[in-house]
Amino acid sequence: MKTTRIFTYGTLMTGQPNHRLLARAKRIGTARTQPVFDLVDLGPFPGMVTGGSTAVTGEVYAVDRETLAALDRLEGHPRFYQRRTIRLANGQWIAAYIYPQRPPGCPLVPGGDWRNAKGV
């Protein structure tokens, strides 16, 4: 079975409301991105945008084709979030959902860690 490794950083992480979509996925572990992003607070969920200077904290999963399709639907790929390949701090290339641009007035998530920002 072919799988795709995906970096999650918001509501798909363990203990978050959309984590149920990863029920069939294999958790690889925690990870951080290269410090080339910003994590913005969009209210109930975050958005990772390119062009920043933050290393975003998240989790890596190996997902099958059906799970990836479910994640694409949740994230509105490619119209809302765009699934792209990014580089993690350890040099590994991996899929992640990128928010297309930082909306005006949206605050940054301190330290690039959604769970710490939301107290989970």
N-terminal to C-terminal alpha carbon distance within the chain: 33
Sheet of 93-98, strand order: 26-32, 57-63, 4-8, 93-98, 82-87
How far is the CA of 57 from the CAs of 33, 49, 52, 70, 89, in angstroms?
A: 7, 13, 14, 22, 10
Cβ pair 6, 94 in contact under 8 A: yes
**The one catalytic residue among 75, 94, 98, 109:** 75
Strands 57-63 and 82-87: unpaired
Active site residue 75: yes
Residues annotated as part of the active site: 75
